[in-house]
Amino acid sequence: MSSSDIFIGETIGTAILILLGGGVCAAVTLKASKARNAGWLAITFGWGFAVLTAVYTSAPLSGAHLNPAVTLALALKKNGIPWSDVPIYWGGQLLGAMIGAALVWVAYYGQFHAHLTDKDIVGEPAAKGAKAKAKSVEAREAGAGPVLGIFSTGPEIRNAVQNVATEVIGTIVLVLAVLTQGLNDDNKGLGTLGALITALVVVAIGLSLGGPTGYAINPARDLGPRIVHALLSLPNKGGSDWSYAWVPVVGPLLGAAIAAGIYNVAFA
């Protein structure tokens, strides 16, 4: 695989991953969406099918890592990918995640506007002349606005140690499944059967371990869309919760390193 193949494949694949994954979150969250309140099962299976589609699309070009944690694990794995390829994979993944998030905004443009201008969602402004902050989303949701969950993850209970641990554990499960069952013949990316296995593992992680933090298990999946949320001109969108943003980056990378170590000792 050439550097251009890697970058293009990861950009396209990660864009599809976030378009479909973020899309199911938007469908379930936003008012005026036909799938509103479809629930956690819809989200977990939506993300699983998003992984499946993205991997099958990009695997011929880049091996379909689509996740900086997977790339790190494959670099740490015995006889893995060259370290010189890691920045190329990561660059494509971050760019693709941002493109995918922007496409979710385009696809649900009207729903975003309807949701964020609905008084049931954003509240009423304070009375004229009042010194108190307006009872808008900016006042009530200083950390994370009401649509941030469409773009990025967030904890149900904000405890940094637990939140990092949850992301570490989920990523270990994902990466071990990829390393032991998901790789193609040259062990540099996901194979045809590996795509299906990985998609089902992502569903399993979402159902079993997704409750505490929303299971980022992928730094690009969280950071790229969070950047897009911060840049988009959305009415009453609230904050992008940058105080939490390090958790879904550090946790998955740490989990990937641990999983690669386990693989090298126990399986290689």
168-196 residue pLDDT tens: 999 999 999 999 987 877 777 788 788 99
Angle between helices 68-76 and 86-107 (to 10 degrees): 160
C-alpha span between 59 and 13 (Å, rounded): 8
Q: What pLDDT, on a 0 to 100 scale, did the predictor assign at position 264?
A: 96
What is the separation of C-alpha 67 from the centre of its chain, rounded to a whole number of angstroms?
Answer: 9
Q: Which two tokens stand for residue 213?
A: 């933090």
Q: Residue 125 — very low, low, confident or very high, per pLDDT cuts 50/70/90?
A: low
Give the confidence band of 46 by pLDDT, cuts at 50, 70, 90. very high
> For residue 57, how far is the Cα from the chain centroid?
18
Angle at 73 between CA 69 and CA 245, to 5 degrees: 20
Contacts of 97 (CB under 8 A, 6+ apart): 14, 15, 17, 18, 220, 221, 223, 224, 225
Kindly tell me if the per-residue pLDDT of 127 is higher than 60: no
Segment 209-242, tens digit of pLDDT: 999 999 999 999 999 999 999 999 999 999 999 9
Computed over every residue of the chain, the mean pLDDT equals 92
Tell me, what's the pLDDT at 152? Answer: 97
Contact partners, residue 208, CB within 8 Å, separation at least 6 = none
